[in-house]
Amino acid sequence: PDLIQRTNRYLLDLRLAKWITQKQYEQLSIKSNEVELAHLYYLPKAHKPGTPLRPIISGLKHPTIKISKFLDDLLRPL
């Protein structure tokens, strides 16, 4: 909850300073009922001796995923 509150407060500060639009603020704001902790799972590396595992972290519902996608879309053209 602290991460969510701090992030939403920072987004509000950006909105009030007119660094982001109202629409962006609404899209990026975090709703606590829409988030989950990241899931950790492993994929085997079958082509390697001993079949080691590769850890994968799935954070599709992480609190900051909307911000990550926004920044990716913003920076990708550069």
Q: Which pLDDT score, from 0 to 100, does residue 37 have?
A: 84
| Cβ neighbours for 45, distance < 8 A, ≥ 6 positions apart | 51, 52, 53, 54
pLDDT band at 1 (very low <50, low <70, confident <90, very high): low
Summarised one tens digit per residue, pLDDT across range 33-63 is: 989 888 899 999 999 999 999 999 888 888 8
pTM of the predicted model, to two decimals? 0.69
Q: Tell me if 11 sits within 8 A of 66, measured CB to CB.
A: no
Q: How many domains does the chain have?
A: 1
Amino acid at 19: W
Mean of the per-residue pLDDT values for the chain?
92
Amino acid at 43: L
pLDDT score of 11 more than 80: yes
Q: Which residues span the domain enclosing 6?
A: 2-75
